[in-house]
Chain A
């Protein structure tokens, strides 16, 4: 196996790893949907607190999005560093 063939196999394996690692954002998607669904429910119950609840919802969104970005960071790590 020449060096070029080995290199191409490595690049292919990296792409496969990156594609597999992207599946983790499915969990984050469910979580973010959960947060905003709770926001809608709670605002429907108590519309006078809408502003404060929206603040909490944005906080929850940012924290959940961080997990999706942990997964994205692993993708970039696999794709461009190894």
Chain B
């Protein structure tokens, strides 16, 4: 059953990938045709500013007009058509929609992140299915089975260790949600390491959505488990009464910051890492293309730095998934066992 689903998802992703690349190729042909016309060396912007091409400012200030209505100048048209030529290191995070779908005010278009999330899902299902078919793997595991067991075993250990003070049955109720969150963020992070791929978790909308939803879920679990006594979470034991209101207010701020911090931590790590690699590799490529022996030899520096940074990125991808999962378990522990710490691990 899951093999059908994963093959379907992967086939769907493949068809979309092929069609998008065909569309990009068509755009490049359009640009080439436009560039065949004789070029004038002045670019006229919409507000009347006239500059030469080598004065064209680089960055998001290049505001394209509507590409379907060509103006008189072929260079401007070519630049308008070539809107997807990267100008800044942050252009790799651009969200392009493949299929525009609208329902009133709601945009449900099939975009870049949606495609890559489906791809992640398909890959995870495929991996888990291929390892566990024919009766759940062998007793002496091969490498793939060890990897899947490692990913799977990581979460129950975490759940058992962090959420102390409850019976095993109750604790394991949280296991599926935390396991899916961990596997999703791990595979999304790792998928961004593939060259020319798109990192889903490098958008704060996605990671903040995930962390906000989980935070709201944890609050609901706290209220369900402890009733209104959950509000005593804000007040540690043995606090004199006049100090109480200030302490409650003060405690609410770090408590609500947790939702933000989990999401922003994952987002900032992924975005900063990918931007750094892009900037460094851009400079390494430029050094490689300058016709100078010294630059060619000196290019070893940036190239080694890009190699080291990519290795660090791989470590950060795995460790940030680990850290976000551990922090979710800690918040769950705080919500269900209001400040009764059974272990010495105390985090914000």
A residues within 8 Å of B by Cβ?
3-4, 7, 11, 58-59, 61-63, 65-66, 69-70, 72-73, 76, 80-81
Contacts and interface: CB of A to CB of B under 8 A. Distances in A.
A73 B319 contact: no
Contact of B89 (A3, A11, A63, A80): A80
- Range class of the B interface residue count: 20 to 34
Contact of A70 (B55, B89, B268, B326): B268
Nearest to B88: A80
Contact of A7 (B61, B88, B90, B323): B61
B216 to A, nearest CB: 22
B59 interface: yes
Given A65-B269, A69-B269, A81-B60, 14 more contacts: A4-B51, A11-B57, A59-B323, A62-B316, A62-B320, A62-B322, A63-B265, A69-B273, A70-B268, A73-B267, A73-B271, A73-B272, A76-B271, A80-B59
A72 B271 CA distance: 9
Top 4 A-B pairs, shortest CB-CB distance: A66-B265, A69-B268, A72-B272, A73-B268
A71 to B, nearest CB: 9
Interface string B240-268: 00000000000000000000010011011
B140 interface: no
Main secondary structure of the interface of A (DSSP, over half): helix
B326 A66 contact: no
Interface in B309-345: 316, 319-320, 322-323, 326
A4 B52 CA distance: 12
A16 B49 CA distance: 27
Interface in B44-66: 49, 51, 55, 57, 59-61
5 contacts: A66-B264, A69-B273, A72-B276, A73-B268, A80-B90
